[in-house]
Amino acid sequence: MIFKYKVLDAVGVKMEGTLEADSNDQALRRLQNQGNIILSLSSVKGRASSSKKSPSSPGGQGVKLDQVVMLMRELAIMIETGVPISEALELLSTNAENQAIKKAISAAHNDLVQGRSISQAFGSQPHVFPAVVINMVRTAEVGGQLDTTLNQAAEYLEASLEMRNKVGTALTYPVLLMVVAFGVTIFMMMYLIPKFGPLFQHMGGTIPPQTQFLISAGMFLQKNWWIVPLTIIGSAFAFVTVLRIPSGRAMMMRLLHVCPVIGDIVKKVALARILRSLGSVCAAGVSLLLALEISGQSAQDPIFEHAVDCVRLSVADGSSLSQAVANTNTFPAMVCQMVSVGEKSGRLSDVLLRVARFYERDVDVKLKMLTSIIEPLMIVVLGLVIGFIAVAIISPIYSLVGGVK
């Protein structure tokens, strides 16, 4: 079988190509034995066999981010207290409750027993150990501070989890309110309003245009009820399809960037992810070029991913990091200034992490403000919709009753 692959080699250079192997496992082992970190591996028919998870979005196959954080913490404590890495993995595998993590740790332990390095063992389980952790561990293998590095990786993943939870919490209530509003409106249109049509016809009189429109729309939806689920499913499918296309996802992000309030939050979330990833990886001793490769992927925003890639290319050509960041015209002036300060003071990782914390706090404040605005706004919109329907139905009833008198 022929497999296509993308890897990071021992010095952090991204490479891609094809190889021939009897199975997916054999191809994976060949690449790992050469000291590579697997980014993606798939057959020529396009079936994904292994794919890299974003540093800010580790997990997969039944593994949650908080479980990965706990695993990093437990492993760091064991190594810090003098437990050999092989024995630590064996203990964690025995006590793991999650079956996906149990299998991944067991496989990593077997790799260590067979003589592979820790980073290679972790790299063979990308659904549990994200690329940022693998590269930090690879650096720690040389420096000999594996426990400190694992704690740093856990702190980075914890910050990523906290940011994700904040965004999810802020969106939960508005989305739930929108679903309820949509459901109530559809219920009234399909089941309540059509019942008034025969009543108005029996009583006679003139029906206002808005009432006639609601009755006609309700009767249409009642007879063609399948349009509602079909529209919902089709819209969801179209949205997901657009997000899977790079150009479509970039277009969606550009639209979000120009939205008032929301655009500012989206930008700052991406900036916080990039700066925290870059600061954490640099603090672990990973080379700047590889750190930029990882941090760009952590943004989950095509616009900032492209900007970081441009920065990486400029740095590779000999430009300073601060100058490369400024030349993109994508990063705020404060970020450019702080990167310059970090370079000059020799404390780049500390400065990046401080700026990341600043943006994380700012995002938290903006999300709370946005939620406080959206909640009453959604209630008002829901009230206007239901009020319009109620007035459109009740007003002709009063008119008809008054005409009878």
Map out the domains of the chain as residue ranges.
Answer: 2-51, 65-159, 163-405
CATH T-level assignment (fold) for domain 65-159: Receptor-associated Protein (1.20.81)
Q: What is the mean pLDDT of each run of 10 residues along the chain (405 residues)?
A: 71 68 68 65 53 43 76 84 86 84 88 84 82 79 74 82 83 83 84 79 72 84 87 90 85 88 89 89 81 82 90 89 91 92 89 92 88 83 84 76 58
pTM for the model stands at 0.71
Residue 46 pLDDT: 41
- Angle, vertex CA 268, rays to CA 265 and CA 273, nearest 5: 125
Residue 49 pLDDT: 38
Beta bridge partners of 7: 15, 38
Encoding tokens for residue 361?
């706090």
Q: C-alpha distances in angstroms, 198 versus 121, 193, 194, 207, 386?
A: 72, 10, 8, 12, 22
Residue 11 pLDDT: 55
Residue 289 pLDDT: 83
CA-based torsion, 75, 78, 81, 86: positive or negative = negative
* Rounded (10°) CA dihedral 61, 66, 68, 69: 170
Q: C-alpha distances in angstroms, 48 versus 1, 15, 112, 131, 237?
A: 14, 18, 26, 18, 21
Residue 311 pLDDT: 92
Measured distance CA(395)–CA(196) in Å, rounded: 12
Reported as a single tens digit per residue, the pLDDT across 289-320 is 888 888 887 888 889 989 999 998 998 888 88
Class of the CATH domain delimited by 163-405: mainly alpha
Measured distance CA(297)–CA(280) in Å, rounded: 14
